[in-house]
Structure 1
Amino acid sequence: MTAQEAPQTLPAPLLRGPQEGETIDVAGVEHFFRLTAEHTEGRLSFEEFTLAPGVVGARPHVHHGHDEYFYVLEGELTLHNGEGEVTAGPGALLAAVRGTPHGFRNAGTRTARALCLYTPAGYEGYFRDVHDAVASGAEVTDALLAEFRGRYRTTSADPA
């Protein structure tokens, strides 16, 4: 049998149960990564996150190495869209492609729950880094966050 005649072995689909994933708590946001780079050969990461009322998930920032897509499931997110803020409820989708200033917070009175897709994968490492630093006793400062963002080709976009 030649290499051309050999049967191909195809990868099997990955099924994750409802509780399977990696939870990373960062600054009041619970990130529940269902898929990370390890599961997708670096193609994408996929998470569900929850954000209590009054919590800022991320101040305006810009990714230079990946795209992010937010889909609101419950509650409301106040999203910075590069020009200002908009309120997004269930079913709303924000596409923050590379180079797009964006951020999010929960200005509502109910916990917000949303999905986020990252492509390519890898930004989950940022959340791991921040979580590990805080767990080791580091104070979360703008300088610390800037250092970690820099590792993942992300810069601040705070409006002046």
Structure 2
Amino acid sequence: MKTTETGHYNDVLKNEAVIFNPGQGEMLQIENSKITLKVTSEISNNQFGLYEIVLAPGTVGAQLHHHRFMDETFIVNKGTLTIQLSDKMLSAAEGTVVFVPKFTPHGFRNTSDAEVTLTLIFNPGQNREGFFFGLQEILTEQPVNPDKFLKLYHKYDSIPVDQDVMLPVNYKKASI
């Protein structure tokens, strides 16, 4: 390590860079979709969490909800993602970036016939990967226990706009 003096500070320089090549990171399979944990809350000291999501065709990522303590950013890497922002629907094509500040109702889904790949960033991280692990566990239990599902949502700062429609459903079998 190297120490440099800059004005009134003694900066300790160190290399704690973390590199994830394509395909690297812990991958979770949740129903027909995949979540790859890239930069977790632990790695970033809770500054943010970054996750790659692959949504299968017709998959609801999340119904309309909001966060009290974190912002969420969607970056569409492949395909077209349908994002609901309050009462408006947005078709977010490849390359689109959508920043959703806390207290903004939002939801997202893949209404297309092809996979959608996106990057999700939560700021601060709020241990969001804990939400994904919990979701994976809850969704393997059939039927899904609505109380456990909603408890998980609340624990990880996802507040449903309408609790009655929060349970996961395949988009093609449900109406919005």
Where on the TM-score scale, by shorter chain, does this alignment land: which range?
0.7 to 0.9
| Corresponding position: 1:128 with 2:105 | no
Give the count of matched residue pairs: 157
Contact 2:138–2:149, Cα closer than 8 Å, also in 1? no
SS in 1 for 2:43: helix
Distance 1:27 1:62, change over 3 A: farther
User: Are the counterparts in 2 of residues 52 and 111 from structure 1 also a CA contact under 8 Å?
Assistant: yes
Seen in structure 2, the aligned counterparts of structure 1 residues 159 and 38 have a Cα distance that, compared at 3 Å, is closer
Q: Is the 8 A contact 2:138 2:148 kept in 1?
A: no
Which residue does 2:50 correspond to in 1?
46
* Aligned pairs for 1:27-38 within 5 A: 27-38=31-42
Deviation at 1:15, TM superposition (A): 1.6
Q: Which runs of 4+ in 1 moved over 6 A?
A: 4-7
Pairing of 1:1-160 with structure 2 (within 5 A): 8-121=12-125, 122-135=127-140, 137=141, 139-158=143-162
Distance 2:37 2:122 in 1: 11
In the alignment, the residues of structure 2 paired with residue 35 and residue 27 of structure 1 have an alpha-carbon distance, to the nearest angstrom, of 22
TM-score, normalised to structure 2, is 0.79
C-alpha RMSD over aligned residues: 2.4
Cα distance in 2 between the residues matched to 1:56 and 1:7: 46
Structure 2 unaligned residues grouped into runs of 5+: 165-176
Q: Which runs of 5+ in 1 are unaligned?
A: none
